[in-house]
Amino acid sequence: MQWLQTRQSLVSSNIANANSPGFRPLDLQPFSYANPNASLGLSTTSGGHLEGTDGQVTSSTSRPLPFETKPSGNAVSLEDEMTKLADIQLDYQMATQLYTKSLGLIKTAIGRK
């Protein structure tokens, strides 16, 4: 949630500077839950198990750089920035709902509602 808050701050700054000459939009790298240096290999504990591959999972969520640049040198696209804000809002809502549901499960497990 802190990553989403920081990203929203950057995107809001991009929108606020949409008319500033020479301003380039900023964004954070996509959030990753796993350590990219850690290897999670599959192990076979029985002769009937299939062996997995150690292929890397790739993500295609990276966006291309904006191709619009105004004569003043500003490269902020308001449409792209507003789309990013909508994505951030959806991700934040999903995170809060997951947090609320997990808290409810914990309360149920200890006998409270």
Judged against a pLDDT cut of 60, whether residue 65 lies above it is answered with no
The phi and psi torsions of 105 (rounded to 5 degrees) equal -65, -40
pLDDT at residue 62 in the model: 44
Range 74-83 average pLDDT: 88
Q: Single out the residue of 113, 89, 91 nearest to residue 103, CA to CA.
A: 113
Tokens representing 101?
Answer: 């549901």
Q: Label residue 13 exposed, middle or buried (CB < 10 Å: 0-12, 13-18, 19+).
A: middle
pLDDT in tens, 5-64: 999 999 999 999 888 888 888 888 887 765 656 655 666 777 777 666 554 444 334 455
Residue 74 has pLDDT above 70, yes or no: yes
> What is the C-alpha separation between 90 and 83, in angstroms, rounded?
11
Q: How confident is the model at residue 66 (pLDDT cuts 50, 70, 90)?
A: low
